[in-house]
Amino acid sequence: MTAEDSLRANLSQAFALPADCVQWLLDVWACIQTLDDYADGDPVSRERLDALIWSSLVGMPGNPWFAAHAGQMLPILSQMVLKWQASDRAERDGNADARSFVWRAGYYDLVLAAVLLVHGPQNAARVAHLVMSLYGERLEDYMSEFPRAQNV
């Protein structure tokens, strides 16, 4: 099972999000994975690039769930991008630490916001720890990527 398959199963089954919401969240996830690979100089296939172009210009903005909730989701999406940029800056400047590791998990803020919008605050609070537990990267693995990193 790929990471995307696992994420899809969690979003649709464990958190019972509607199909359009799941698709939008998966499109965002695929876009940020592709852009992160590109920014890191990792190879990005033409197929992934074409998927990124379609998702970012057509799929995500035209998604019915996103269209209905854009006012609530855009600020969180903006924060996710800014947190990723902050983490990337810290990493490039040789200042990666436990804080920059946490900043990388902004995508799960987006997922939690979707759960909140779909299921309400009481239900979202009940599963918030499970949503945030979807973040699969371990601090130890992250820190090992940066020889000068400090565990703050």
Q: Which own/partner contact pairs does 4-10 have at CB distance under 8 Å and 24+ positions apart?
A: 4/29, 4/30, 7/134, 10/134
Reported as a single tens digit per residue, the pLDDT across 40-79 is 899 999 999 999 999 999 999 999 999 999 999 999 999 9
pLDDT band at 33 (very low <50, low <70, confident <90, very high): very high
pLDDT band at 148 (very low <50, low <70, confident <90, very high): low
Cα separation, 110 vs 132, in Å, equals 10
Q: pLDDT at residue 152 above 60? A: no
The pLDDT, as a whole number, for residue 55 is 96
Copy the structure tokens of residue 60: 């995500």
Tell me the average pLDDT across 23-45: 94
Reported as a single tens digit per residue, the pLDDT across 89-100 is 999 999 999 999
Q: Where are the domains of the chain?
A: 3-144
CB-based contact 93:53 (threshold 8 Å): no
Copy the structure tokens of residue 56: 């970012």
The pLDDT, as a whole number, for residue 1 is 82
Rg (the chain; Cα; Å): 16
**Model pTM greater than 0.85?**
yes
